[in-house]
Amino acid sequence: MTLSLERVQAAHGEVRVLHDVSLEVAPGQIVGLLGRNGAGKTTTLRTIMGLVRASAGRIVLDGVELARLPAHEVPRLGIGYVPQGRRLFPHLTVEENMTMGLLVRGAGADARRDVLDLFPALRDRLGQRAGTLSGGEQQMVAMARALCVRPAVLLLDEPTEGLMPTLVARLLDTLGALRARGVGILLVEQKVDAVLGVADRVVLIENGRTVRQATPAELAAEPELLLRHVGVRRR
């Protein structure tokens, strides 16, 4: 299933945050979304999920116009979401957090087992309240909860935030494994090197507008693009 955004606009109350966002995520493709703080990366993901209403433009998944659906219908079409700051249900157990994902599309024991195979450390934590886990474990639960949806498209907002380098590497490996299974991934991330290392394509966003799309190789060849639009100078 391909997710596409065409000239999307969205606002927080009276303040328009997205002015013109267009991008596409194809099956088995990792698309990085890079931009400065406040550029509209998180709002883009929230708008896809229906948590912020799109005021113009189209958001389409497999021919279905998402912006017309109530927010709770969007994940049922096969979109998994790892929000910024993880936002687990802290008083629910790890098992219950995963169940929230499993219930979205009626996934069963197979999905649960597959996800636990990806994050075996969670097997010993299933009965523990999610809010009592370490930061790294919470990130695993956030990923596990989203993967329990059996998503065709996965939206990740700062998934490496607060993780040790070894855990970041493992997380990026996991993204590669998901890509190999045909999952399309839209990755918002502050760690530019991490994005360039794993993404097939990168979309640059500035002041609520997508301004450029390029491959990691093209961005490596034109480092001034990252400096201009993301504020990052690469060596």
Partner 1 sequence: MPVTLGPHLLLALLEGVVGALVLALTALGLSLVFGVMRIVNVAHGAFFMLGAVVTWYVSSATGSFLLALVAAPLAVGGIAVVADRLVLRRIGYEPESTIVATIGLLYILEQLVLMTYGPYARPVAAPIYFRIDFGWFGYSGYKLVVAAAAAFLLVAAWLALSRTTLGLYLRATQQDREIAQAFAVPVGRVYSLAFGVGGGLAALAGALIVPVQQAHYLMGLDALLLSFVVVILGGLGSLTGTVVAALVVGLADGAVSVLFSPTLAKIVATLLVGVVLAVRGRGLFGEELA
Neighbours of 12 (CB within 10 A): 11
89 is a contact residue toward partner 1 (CB under 8 A): yes
84 is a contact residue toward partner 1 (CB under 8 A): no
Read off the amino acid at residue 18: L
The 99-128 contact track toward partner 1, x by CB under 8 A, reads xxx-xxx-----------------------
**Where does the chain show beta strands of DSSP type E?**
3-12, 15-25, 30-34, 54-61, 64-65, 79-82, 153-157, 184-188, 201-206, 209-214
CB of 74 to partner 1, least distance (A): 8
**Among positions 12, 68, 76, 123, the unique one binding partner 1 when judged by CB under 8 A:** 76
51 is a contact residue toward partner 1 (CB under 8 A): yes
Write out the two tokens for 24.
């596409």
94 is a contact residue toward partner 1 (CB under 8 A): no
Distances (CA, A) of 172 to 30, 138, 177, 187: 11, 16, 9, 11
**Among positions 53, 68, 91, 113, the unique one binding partner 1 when judged by CB under 8 A:** 91
Question: 3-class SS at 225?
Answer: helix
Residues forming the site for partner 1 (CB under 8 A): 49-51, 70-76, 81, 83, 87, 89-92, 96, 99-101, 103-105, 145, 149
